Structure 1
Amino acid sequence: MTRRLLVTLLVVAMGLLAGCVPPWTVVRQIVPNPMLGQTTFVVMPIDFAGVQVGSGSEGSYLADKDADSRRSWADDKASMNSLFAGALRSHAREDGLNVVPPSQAAPFVIHSKVVFIEPGFFTAFVNKDSEVQMFITITTADGMVLDEITLAHATPSTLTTPGVGHRLRDDAEALGRYAARYLITRVTGVKE
């Protein structure tokens, strides 16, 4: 019995190390799958309302920042939105899916909400990685919730990603790729 448990744990650990585990956690997934064989989805802008930044609120994070830093933060969030949507579109397109902006119609809508951001920092001696946690809801065009997943991505603080904006942009792009992978599994029915 103990040997069987050890072998099972080793197989699971190897799968995790090999990247065989999908980068999302399913919160809710409707059955039967109405997205099977579908090809068109709308992606809405990221919702940042109520986001926790570090150990506090976004307001407390920005409270001690100067005007330039606050402007830069707003620019970072706008860039995160466009990079997330762009990565989602381009990676979904590789598998024949069409992810369109909110101005177009589609039977399914992707809603994303960033719930946590760790901006991280870079110094000569100590660094802290960024991290972005996102909650995605896929609905019908009339708002019926079909699927809900959580995603997270962290970007190391290095010489090539010294600024908060660099890291958050990398995180957003990775989250867009992850969201596309999830969509592809739902449309094709092939599990990762």
Structure 2
Amino acid sequence: MQRPPPPQSLLDSIPQADSGQRREPAPVHLWDPPLSGEMDMHIARDGTWYHEGDPIRRKPLVQLFAGILKFDADAGRYYLVTPVERWGIQVDDAPFVATRLTVEGQGEQQSLNFTTNLDDSVTADSEHPLWVELRGSSAEPAPYVRVRSNLDALIHRNVFYQLVDLAVEREMDGVQRTGVWSSGVFFPLDGL
């Protein structure tokens, strides 16, 4: 049996989805090819993907790239990865932005369901934590939710305001904290 020819480019390496269907993220955690170089691609804080300085306007293409995105915690870098290539890219903050929130249930039994700018959906739970970092001298809150495999979404300001409206107080380790419940887990929003 004859093997298919090796891929000629990054896009040739990506398994194809059926036409009209949303592609599931690739199993990038299984791939660790050598570094191929740096790609002139970056993701802005607002979730816009740029290639060679121009925004990528086709959402399906951005979703394709997002499906092969990997964060290497040891290197502190983001890469586009296939079984045969690994290209470094720049990310200003988080690769995704959580743009919508739906709430199911109430109180400790509620579930907070986030949708990203690329139509990924995630429910905040123990595997997909929600947290807030305080940044800069003004201690401006920067809220995040884990989407998948070390890839996070910055929570859009409007969505964060919705979370604040849902916030309750709870004592944790002898300290009064302000936060929200999702999937039976309490997530502090006060950034302490």
TM-score, normalization by structure 1: 0.24
Question: Which structure's residues are more often helix, by fraction?
Answer: 1
TM-score, normalization by structure 2: 0.24
Q: Which has the higher contact order (CA 8 A, sep 6+)?
A: 1
